[in-house]
Chains A and B, each alone.
Chain A
Amino acid sequence: MWVDLIVTVIKVLVVSTVLLTGVPIMVWVERRGSAMIQDRLGPNRVGPMGLLQPVVDAVKLMTKEDLTPEGVTGTNRFLYLLAPAIALVVAVSTFIVVPFGYDPGLELFGHAIGGFVVAPDLDLGILYLFAVGSLGVYALVLAGWGSNNKYSLLGGIRASAQMISYELAMVISVVGVLMVTGSFSLDDVVLHQAGTWFGFIPKWNVIPQLIGAITFMVAVFAETNRLPFDMVEAEAELVVGYHTEYSSMRFASFFMAEYINMITASSLIVVLFFGGWTLPGIATPGGWLGALATIGIFAAKVAFFLWFFVWVRWTLPRFRFDQLMALGWKWMIPLAVLNFLWVGVAMALGYL
């Protein structure tokens, strides 16, 4: 019992540490990466190659004055303070069902660690993820409402409309994967993708379900509010939308939530469509070394998609809000439905 608890606590600590360290690293990658794309140098003064810049940023944010806008009182003040907390809690708690490595039955202190995932026994992993993840919109709407600012409110309204539209496309595009796997557990989804076709094509879901993969990726871009879908912030239009009025660590909470969401989203893309921790030839290695190898593979894939997020952000312009909704309803949802129809037909005919 106690060992069980200790193992879980260790896992939670390790995962949350990695996640929270991932944020500053991503900030650094984003700033240096954008600089690379834009023919600039980027931050290069603090630490080697500017690596300590995020630390300095964090210190700055923590020591800044925490302001509450005039006129935000009573219940509104409560909502105003609650919003960043929701954002951060939701962001951190969605990651607990993501399997980030293969566990060949390893033991710690004579006790099974129960998989490289914080909550191993959650068979409804993917459902949990969508259920909790969609709570994130409350953070944006409440922040927009509580800020007593018209621009923030517009941002909050955009957030709710955008989230509802793209959540649909996202969930439908995952249905195909779940049908093929026959399970809601993300571990099963990954294991199902182990192995190859014809000996060299990896059995990743992205190959038979390319449309599903694309719609899913577009939808997570929209869910994470990254360019070209950053309607909610839209710096030039809505100043910065819902977090205009936030400063100090409350602003930082939104900021961290965005990057943690990006990490979760990249992990999901990898788990659902790109074979999770597997590579052709490496699926279920044994021992601690094998487990570390799978974690490394997983991390590398996630890193690629994180870079992809950065890359897209600094390449594309922003949609207009109605065009974004049109894309969501007229293209994304039909395409996602098409994908799951195709999977159904292919399964019925025995191809998948």
Chain B
Amino acid sequence: MTVSSTESPTQRPPLADPFPEGSVAAVEQAADGHTVLTVDRSHLLDVLRRLREKPELACDLLADVCGVDYPDREQRFDVVYHLGSLEHGHRFRVKVPLGEDDPVVPSAVGIWKAADWFEREAFDMFGIRFQGHPDLRRILTHEAFHGHPLRKDYDPSQRWLLTEKDTMAPRWATEDQPDDEHMDTVVLNLGPSHPATHGTLRTVVRLDGEHIVKAECEIGYLHRCFEKMSETHGWQQVIPYTDRLNYCSSMINGVGFALTVEKMLGIEAPPRAQVVRVILSELSRIMDHAVCLGANLVDLGALTNFWYFFQIREEIYGLLEKCAGGRLTVSYARIGGLAHDVPADFEDEVRKLLDSIPKFLDDVETLVTTNRIFRDRTEGVGVISGEEALAWGWTGPCLRASGIPYDVRKAHPYMGYENYDFEVPVATTGDTYARYLVRMEEMRQSLRIVRQALDNLPDGPVITDDHHVALPPKEKVYTEMESLIWHFKLIFEGIPVPAGEAYGFTEGANGELGYYVVSDGGGKPHRIKVRPPCFAIYQAFPKILEGLMIPDAIAILGSLNIIAGELDR
């Protein structure tokens, strides 16, 4: 394997020793553009705080916290933090090795609020304890679950009896309120089965009249062990699972994963595949925004817009079906390119879409954007400031609605996004209305990208000819000895991804969609960690809710676009 040619143009951070002597055990530049710091846990908080606060580092985004299990190592676990600086554009990966008998690290919640749920997940999955975490409970698995499923020695065939008795109810929900003498407050479950919780989300709220006094979210109802399953499947076989993360825009997930593995392999998809990926990803983004806004508007009582948006979605599904065969879960991306070429009438079909989609957007715009009722319902509702949103780890349209123009496609271009002319829409108010406006404009910008991509759609193959990665054509397998061997080796041994790790991040429909992939050189991933954008977004939801009303909660929830498939994995 050659050295990565797909190395992202991420800037190298200044490492003129901002850390005190001896606190960082090792510094290394990884091929995926990250500066990797290995830190002992006694220095961890100090290093993290410096990374956040030093102006030349200014890592204001905590993208991800996760655990990795290396059963053969003496210090068995790694806790891995992925940090980014929006200002400087550089990226850090901080690794803390831990032994099995004492897997404790100090919690980073005091530095980034975003650490809250990510640390709970690492605790749930690996049993790593975060000292000082305000509420270290299981998050994705059931309260009565035993063991930590992502440890390599966890036996997946075990079964636990999970009863309703142990179902999570926040402590405050069962306590009597001291001021309840005259008017009882009421504890209400919004979800997991509620018309406005698309997917299965649960928010427990304490109501005073219709005002929400306190709220807490419970997730994990749709947890289906994506990460655990990935460890037992070949690299290409993971792609169908990625479709089920954010199922409203499955193409983007598959492409993001393929890009990350390509980065590790040091290969690049052929130009035609890249452009088709861009076109389908952007159309998927439109679809995702259409579903989000459509559902949001239904919750506000405006059902008609939902149908206008779903017409867009339906037409894009038609195109995806022609290309990939599937509609919702396309499984079209492959490591090294695409599953097969697009149909002959691809260009005409996309041009038809380019003509038809703006009409529906205009219809909705006319009905809703200046509608007094809609604006009263959404303006000033669910406001979050830019700094606050970033501290919670928000990315994507929700962050841009709060005034921070962070878009991975601009900040760290991939798949040739730097060659397209498009704007990143930004709103400043950070409320539900701003999120609506940003998504509406993003759909139009995506159309611009699709138009440019279509004008420059090159000919050629759609999958790499590196047969370590991609199967040779069938007729060659039947006629050439060498191709038969490649075929045999790929099927039986899998793709030989070199040992190592990479964090690949793309702009998903909800924000930064990251894949942290660890390979041990075998035909299967050693560990895949997904950084789902709405995981970070949803953890701020209860804080936004306090003091608002039930109808506001519904309006905000819709505008955050929480997709349970991606949230719970």
Residues of A within 8 A of B (CB): 34, 37-40, 150-151, 154, 227-228, 230, 234-239, 314-323
Contacts and interface: CB of A to CB of B under 8 A. Distances in A.
A39 B549 contact: no
A-B pairs, 7 with minimum CB distance: A318-B301, A38-B307, A236-B299, A317-B302, A317-B300, A236-B196, A320-B551
Contacts, number: 77
A237 B304 CA distance: 18
B186 interface: yes
A320 B376 contact: yes
15 contacts: A37-B304, A38-B304, A39-B307, A39-B308, A237-B551, A239-B194, A314-B304, A315-B302, A315-B304, A315-B367, A316-B302, A316-B371, A317-B373, A317-B377, A320-B376
B311 A39 contact: yes
B374 interface: yes
A39 B298 CA distance: 16
Contact of B195 (A154, A236, A320, A322): A236
Given A154-B210, A228-B373, A236 B307 contact: no
A34 B368 CA distance: 17
Interface of B: 186, 188, 194-196, 210, 297-304, 307-308, 311, 367-368, 371, 373-374, 376-377, 549-552, 554
B99 to A, nearest CB: 49
A321 B302 contact: no
Nearest to B550: A237
Contacts of A150: 186, 188
A322 B548 CA distance: 11
Contacts of B551: 234, 237, 318, 320-321
Given A151-B188, A323-B376, 20 more contacts: A38-B307, A39-B307, A39-B311, A150-B186, A154-B210, A228-B373, A236-B195, A236-B301, A237-B196, A237-B299, A237-B554, A238-B550, A314-B303, A315-B304, A317-B301, A317-B374, A318-B373, A318-B551, A319-B376, A320-B377
Contacts of B300: 236, 317-318
Contacts of B376: 319-320, 323
Contacts of B299: 236-237
B188 A320 contact: no
A228 B301 contact: yes
Given A317-B371, A320-B552, A230 B301 contact: yes
B178 to A, nearest CB: 22
Contacts of A237: 196, 299, 550-551, 554
A210 B308 CA distance: 34
A94 B409 CA distance: 63
Contacts of B194: 239
Contacts of A317: 297, 300-302, 368, 371, 373-374, 377
A38 B303 contact: yes
B361 to A, nearest CB: 14
Contacts of A323: 373, 376-377
Contacts of A314: 303-304
B59 to A, nearest CB: 39
A316 B301 contact: yes
A234 B554 CA distance: 11
Contacts of B554: 236-237
Which residue, of A38, A227, A239, A314, has the highest number of chain B Cβ atoms within 10 A?
A38
A325 to B, nearest CB: 11
Nearest to A158: B210
